[in-house]
């Protein structure tokens, strides 16, 4: 049995590359150890079989943005547990090679309403992070809210231009009935508990909330507890 050594060192020895190139091959998911992809240059190996994919390139791992369908009350720790290969949506229309590096240093933007489920955004891309931060007041968010109670459509019309109710000024939003128990809300940069406050003021009891769109990006059919990649042509 040979002495344990770093994977990056063995890659340098086997394939005649530099330390930086070895690290790029490994973090790019191009190196396998006994047939299993290992993306950690410091991974300790002994006599295992090391192979470099024939299509390997030295391109660094590009930052990605992930869309997650979080369950109601999903906290940061629970969200992190979803960022694994097994939770990737099989029908992802923008699927690419999944790398461990895609799950690192992800920043969450535009948190859900308190107690809501639905579309969550995580990004490593500073351009996406900046856009979501700077354009938060401009981006329309769409929610479906399950409620108990009745309110005439005329009462919902008042919300379009903002509504002053018992000393509380609610910001403008669009609201419409989707079914007997489901309301659709579209509004910009809502405070954490705004929708529940609006529904309470209308005499409705909130049974559940789900965010289904941020700007031009819908959650569509993404199942709860799974994630997909943001496509190159998708825009918030």
Same domain? 148 vs 42: no
> Token digits for 95?
């699927």
Dump pLDDT digits (tens) for 77-117. 899 999 999 999 999 999 999 998 999 899 999 999 999 99
Same domain? 34 vs 77: no
Measured from the Cβ of residue 88, the count of other Cβ atoms closer than 10 Å reads 17
Same domain? 112 vs 147: no
Dump pLDDT digits (tens) for 12-27. 999 999 999 999 999 9
- In this structure, is residue 158 part of a structural domain? yes
Dump pLDDT digits (tens) for 187-229. 999 999 999 999 999 999 999 999 999 999 999 999 999 999 9
Residue 1: band (very low, low, confident or very high) from pLDDT cuts 50, 70, 90:
low
Same domain? 178 vs 130: no
Dump pLDDT digits (tens) for 25-66. 999 889 999 988 998 899 999 889 999 999 889 988 899 999
Same domain? 113 vs 208: no
pLDDT of residue 167: 87
- pLDDT surpassing 80 at residue 143: yes
Same domain? 83 vs 94: yes
Same domain? 146 vs 198: yes
Same domain? 123 vs 220: yes
* CB-CB contact of 41 with 22 (8 Å): yes
* CB-CB contact of 149 with 204 (8 Å): yes
pTM given for the model: 0.85
Distance CA 169, CA 7 (A): 61
Same domain? 173 vs 187: yes
What's the domain count of the chain?
3
Same domain? 48 vs 113: no
Same domain? 159 vs 119: no
Residue-level length of the chain: 236
Residue 161: name the closest of 169, 171, 175 by CA: 171
Distance CA 164, CA 141 (A): 21
- In this structure, is residue 19 part of a structural domain? yes
- pLDDT surpassing 70 at residue 2: no
Distance CA 227, CA 236 (A): 17
Same domain? 122 vs 101: yes
Distance CA 100, CA 110 (A): 24
How far is residue 111 CA from its own chain's centroid?
11
Q: Could you tell me the residue range of the domain that residue 96 belongs to?
A: 65-137+216-229
- pLDDT surpassing 70 at residue 140: yes
């Amino acid at each position: 049995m040979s002495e344990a050594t770093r994977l990056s060192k063995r890659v340098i020895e086997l394939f005649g590359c530099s330390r930086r190139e070895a690290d790029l091959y490994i973090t790019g998911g191009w190196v396998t150890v006994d047939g299993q992809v290992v993306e950690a240059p410091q991974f300790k190996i002994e006599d295992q079989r090391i192979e470099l994919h024939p299509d390997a390139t030295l391109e660094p791992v590009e930052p990605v943005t992930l869309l997650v369908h979080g369950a109601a009350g999903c906290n940061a720790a629970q969200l992190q547990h979803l960022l694994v290969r097994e939770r990737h949506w099989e029908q992802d229309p923008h699927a690419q090679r999944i790398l461990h590096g895609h799950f690192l240093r992800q920043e969450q933007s535009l948190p859900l309403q308190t107690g809501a489920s639905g579309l969550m955004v995580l990004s490593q891309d500073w351009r996406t992070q900046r856009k979501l931060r700077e354009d938060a007041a401009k981006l329309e968010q769409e929610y479906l809210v399950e409620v108990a109670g009745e309110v005439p459509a005329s009462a919902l019309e008042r919300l379009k231009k903002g509504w002053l109710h018992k000393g509380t000024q609610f910001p403008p939003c669009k609201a419409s009935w989707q079914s007997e128990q489901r309301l659709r809300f579209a509004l910009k940069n809502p405070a954490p508990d705004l929708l529940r406050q609006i529904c309470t003021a209308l005499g409705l009891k909130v049974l559940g909330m789900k965010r289904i769109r941020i700007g031009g990006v819908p959650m569509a059919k993404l199942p709860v507890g799974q994630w997909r990649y943001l496509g190159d042509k998708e825009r918030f």
